[in-house]
Chains A and B, each alone.
Chain A
Amino acid sequence: MTTKVSFTLNGEAVSAEVDSRTLLVEMIRENLGKTGTHVGCDTSQCGACVIHLDGRSVKSCTMLAVQAEGADVATIEGVATNGKLHPMQEAFREHHGLQCGYCTPGMIMSSLDLVKQNPDPDEKQIREWLEGNLCRCTGYQNIVRAVKAGAQAMRADD
């Protein structure tokens, strides 16, 4: 059975006919063609799929597309504005917070929510917050550095 699901994606109204069992991440990737959000597991463990739903970070593999009806959804593709990188994106590059890049969209989306809730997180808070995001490449050290620097740059921008 298919259902029409509509929501706002990175500020634009979108909709698609999906199976009622379709996961939100599948709709985003397959139906809406936004492939920056990744799938790294099938047990809600890796965080490669993290997006923002109504301003909070969620694992988009862990909810159905129909649950996003009417929501405000943001993915990695919407983070840079008018071709200008967000300070958190800049920080990931500057501090070598990525290698293969597969975990990166989820890491950035998670980190943005962290900074929203805690504008000046210390290293321990960052490590604990990112506990739900796996990275197999970086050993996290440079991700933590990047998040710290990104948060600082965001404070400076405010």
Chain B
Amino acid sequence: MTENGIGAAVRRKEDHRFITGKGQYVDDINRPNQLYAVILRSPLAHGKIKSLETDAAKAAPGVVAVFTGADMAAAGVGGLPCGWGITSSDGSPMAEPGHPPLAVDVVHHVGDQVAVVLAETKAAARDAVELIEVDYDDLPAVASLDAAGAEGAPLVWDDAPGNICFDWEIGDAAATDAAFAKAAQVVSIDIVNNRLIANAMEPRAAIGDYDSGKDEYTLFTTSQNPHVIRMLMGAFVLGIPEHKLRVVSPDVGGGFGSKIFHYAEEAIVTWASKQVDRPVKWTADRSESFISDAHGRDHVSHAELALSEDGEFLGLRVDTRANLGAYLSTFGPAVPTILYATLLAGTYKTPAIHARVRGMFTHTVPVDAYRGAGRPEASYLLERLVDRAAKVTGIDPIELRRRNFIKPDEFPYQTPVALEYDIGDYDAAVDKALELADYDNFAQRREESASRGKLRGVGIATYIEACGIAPSNVAGALGARAGLYEAGTVRVNPTGSVSVFTGSHSHGQGHETTFAQLVTEALGVDFDNVSIVHGDTAKVPFGMGTYGSRSAAVGGVALMNALEKIRTKSRKIAAHLLEASAEDIEFKDGKLTVVGTDRSVAFGDVAMAAYVPHNYPLDTLEPGLEETAFYDPKNFTFPAGCHICEVEIDPDTGVVDVVSFTAADDFGRIINPMIVEGQVHGGVTQGIGQALYEQCVYDDSGQLLSGSMMDYCLPRADNLPNFAVTTNVTPCTHNVLGVKGCGEAGAIGTPPAVINAVVNALSEYKIDDMPMPATPERVWQAIQSATN
């Protein structure tokens, strides 16, 4: 292993600026002469705008302009596009309502944008927003899936009858029916996957800066994928060609999916900046984040598993309704379909699977990808169902899982729901997790807890996810409206230092470190002589960004391919300098050496020769040393693993305490184990958050009741134990790095492990279900109803 190369727990390059307060997040940026934008948002879930009076606001001190949806529409501004089209099982396309950045005539959820005030100070803008008078006709609203699907329910969109956006299916219904017909036993479950709000600690922000001298626009935005924003906003909303639009996402304070999407505010500040010919800055208050950041999850499902006499899974039938919110967010329709139902095979050899998914509109904030995006929903459903099957059949839950695992010699494995898994070893992950969790001695710990009046439970879950999204042609066939490759450029500077330009975007993942490790590994260049540039469309050639645990598996591989081109060219230059043949040149310790000799040239001298080509094969080779690669993956990657949770419940209060948590994950080859472990910690914490604390609550009229950090409970330091984390490596077979991705796994495997543990702890009360989040109130109530 090269020092600081692949596999080393290198300390992070990016940390210095963050620990000294020198990070540069969007709200830290101020443009000369900038104005502040504050947005008036709908207080109603559904309402018709009868009148909108802005004169008083326009006249308020410090106010420069006020714009409404009518102004933007009159200027020809388009709607926010959806990046993924889903086709219903009857062949019809999904309902795709328009989504103007500022509402025109009708508001569709609390928080919908109605008008924007631009003023000299934020305070002046805030004051003026209060002066806008809107007269609404309060219309009936639907906030939940049940309400949206009820007979005669109010419609969110007239052209989506029954509030159905799409009614989609995957798998073989007839084969699944046949499997159920021959089943010895059938186990079923009703599952709710609770609605969540990502709550990255940095609220979203955007600055639009129009340069009238050049007729060029710059947008600074808190995005996980600035090129995607440039494409969507430029082409669909504002009609600005790429060469006139620069999108910069500097330091971004966490995303977890919520900063993938193209949001109205980005278009509003960019457009408004041109109208007033001044920079326009908008920063969300946390209260605004709650009602304008895309939410996550929100599924209601019924699932049935057909088993043979000896516990072999024969068939799986799933019916899911997914809340999409009022409008289609960028990837909204893909999450409960392509990213969810294709994962329903899990780690198991279930031969027949059929899933129906109905995407439904409600008068709520749009729902889109949140850490895991579809895969946590699949794994929660499946692993709760398998635990229930264990109970019904009397087979030990671990044994039942093992009996049905796809075995290492059965890869590549084609599932009945479209995916082909390349590699894995699920038994090995289970073995590691059991050992690390000291599972064998659980009974003793349970007794010890009981002696203190506490109920102890253990829960296990395995999971699989499809990451490294995606082979573009496959994604295209599935409805993606963009490619999903990644780009990377390696620029070797004349003195041999290296600048890398990657289309991946780091907002906590540490790419500035891990990607530099790849360069060090490939070129032998000192780690400190490498810098990673990301998040600026003016610098990076192209990029699809960071989400779905794709950065290493797609962006990292693109970078490796560019590095390989650099190596090839460097060998040719070295061959010339050393008067040898390129095939005989090897990279070693930062030098290029003629194999089997001590003749070598330092990499820095090769770089210098490329830029000062006095002694250089100019007739066959261009000067310079810079290469770009675009990499389109051949398949998804399939991280998988086993999580084990132990909880202790206080039966008097219902409080659930996670007392130990173990994760054994297979992420393929690992570039930086320290960073990977950190990703697992964060993911597990969000998973525990979903299982025990977090719940987005709307009342029946569509008011968000959990609209602040006082009402929406995020996991805190004193809620959590230390996690025991290990990995089990089966390298991905179809990318040069052998990597699979690690960002989401924690959030995927954790919720079912926690809830299985809670249900296990409550087994003496014959409680076999516990909705998420398992709050003290719910647990206490369940115990009360079981005992009374």
Q: Which residues does A use to contact B, with CB under 8 Å?
A: 19, 21-22, 29, 34-43, 45-46, 48, 75-77, 79-80, 85, 89, 92-94, 96, 98-105, 108, 123-124, 126-128, 130-131, 133-144
Contacts and interface: CB of A to CB of B under 8 A. Distances in A.
30 contacts: A29-B28, A34-B21, A35-B27, A35-B28, A36-B23, A38-B202, A39-B203, A43-B286, A43-B287, A46-B201, A76-B19, A93-B12, A96-B674, A96-B678, A99-B678, A100-B254, A100-B508, A101-B15, A101-B508, A103-B201, A127-B720, A128-B717, A128-B718, A130-B716, A130-B717, A135-B717, A137-B678, A139-B682, A139-B683, A141-B720
Contact of B709 (A130, A134, A137): A134
A36 B22 CA distance: 6
Contacts of A42: 285-287, 708
B549 interface: no
B254 A76 contact: no
Interface in B672-694: 674-675, 677-679, 681-686
Given A89-B20, A102-B25, A138-B681, A40 B123 contact: no
B722 interface: yes
A104 to B, nearest CB: 5
User: How extensive is the interface on chain B, given as a class?
Assistant: 35 or more
Contacts of A76: 19-21
A103 B203 CA distance: 12
B465 interface: no
Contact of A99 (B19, B123, B682): B682
B251 interface: yes
B611 interface: no
List the 10 closest A-B pairs by CB distance, nearest first. A36-B21, A101-B18, A102-B253, A100-B508, A139-B681, A139-B685, A76-B21, A99-B508, A45-B709, A35-B28
Contacts of B605: none
A43 B254 contact: no
A19 B124 CA distance: 11
A11 to B, nearest CB: 15
Nearest to A142: B678
Interface string B493-533: 00000000000000111100000000000000000000000
A21 B198 CA distance: 30
B199 interface: yes
A90 B566 CA distance: 35
B710 interface: yes
B15 A98 contact: yes
B723 interface: yes
Nearest to B674: A96
A104 B18 contact: yes
A123 B721 CA distance: 10
Contacts of B21: 34-37, 75-77, 79, 105
Contact of A104 (B19, B198, B717): B19
A43 B18 contact: no
A117 B442 CA distance: 39
Interface in B638-682: 674-675, 677-679, 681-682
B716 A98 contact: no
B256 A45 contact: no
Given A89-B20, A138-B682, 11 more contacts: A22-B123, A37-B21, A42-B285, A43-B286, A79-B21, A85-B19, A100-B200, A101-B15, A135-B201, A137-B678, A139-B720
